[in-house]
Amino acid sequence: MSTPSSLRRTIASATLVAVGALASCEGDPRPYGNHDLALLTSYAAKEMCSCVFVMKKDEPFCLRFTRANPNIRTVRVNYEGRFVDAFAALAWGARARFISQREGCRLEQ
């Protein structure tokens, strides 16, 4: 049988856990403002740019190297402009531009 003091401790602990959980909620179930497809295209552009321009590998190798699941993206490498565009589902896209050998590639806004 539980003693009154252990019952009070249990209730106090449960209350603290509930208050902590509620305090950490901001109403939005996702803590970041980006959509998964935006993250996928940003990752693909940045990693493909680094593979092609920093690691100096060919496109077929880099396409395998940067493959993510699900593989629903299209990547275009512009060697003249030294940038990579990545697209997914016709609505999301990202561009990464080669800066230098030391700095690598950077996502453009």
85, 77, 86, 76: which is closest to 37 by C-alpha?
86
User: Which pTM was predicted?
Assistant: 0.66
Q: How many residues does the chain have?
A: 109
pLDDT digits (tens, 9 = 90+) for 26-69: 555 545 555 778 888 899 999 999 999 999 999 999 999 988 77
Long-range contacts of 46-52 (CB under 8 A, 24+ apart): 46/94, 46/96, 46/105, 46/106, 46/107, 48/75, 48/77, 48/84, 48/86, 48/96, 49/83, 49/84, 49/96, 49/97, 49/98, 49/104, 49/105, 50/96, 50/104, 50/105, 52/77, 52/84
Is the pLDDT at 100 greater than 60, yes or no? Answer: yes
Start-end of H helices in the chain: 4-23, 36-49, 59-65
Q: Give the lowest-confidence range in 42-46, 71-75, 97-101.
A: 71-75
Q: What percent of the chain has pLDDT over 90?
A: 47
Give the helix, strand, coil percentages of the chain, each rounded to 5.
Answer: 40, 25, 35
Is the pLDDT at 103 greater than 50, yes or no? Answer: yes
